[in-house]
Amino acid sequence: MGQHDKEYGIILNHVVDIGRRSGTTTTAMGDLRPSASSVIVANASVFFEWLSGLQVAKLPGDFKNVRYRMFAKGGTDVREGDSISPIYGITGLSLATVRDVRPLMDFDGLTHHVECLLDRVG
């Protein structure tokens, strides 16, 4: 996999931080709000594909317009609900939320890469 990783690394020309909510607080109305987040993966090499009008539904009536598909190397710790903060190479995106994470397998049964969809937040 060494040579394959080098070749795959050539197309991973965007750099992001992957953050995760690490705590919640309760408001006066009893709602949970995120209180803190931490960077899980700093300077992760990824690739973005811009999508035009793709809609994803998780629950009935819960449609989201997804703007980007993100590709990352296998083993990258990214989960649904994580936040993506671009650092280098991405124009028009300042913050996104991860949806629909899918690890894709190689022919030998190992994770080749991870794909996920992103909602643009900012």
Per the structure, how many domains does the chain have? 1
8 Å CB contact between 114 and 74: yes
pLDDT at 1: 46
Instruction: Tell me which DSSP letter residue 80 carries.
Output: T
CA dist., res. 65 & res. 83, Å (int): 16
For residue 66, the SS3 value is strand
The one-digit pLDDT tens for each residue of the chain (122 residues) are 455 555 566 677 889 999 988 777 787 887 777 677 788 888 988 988 877 666 565 666 666 666 788 999 888 899 998 989 888 877 777 888 898 899 888 777 777 788 998 887 76
- CATH assignment of the domain containing 61: 2.40.10
Q: Write out the residue range of the structural domain in which residue 112 sits.
A: 2-120
Counting Cβ atoms within 10 Å, is residue 14 exposed (0-12), middle (13-18) or buried (19+)? buried
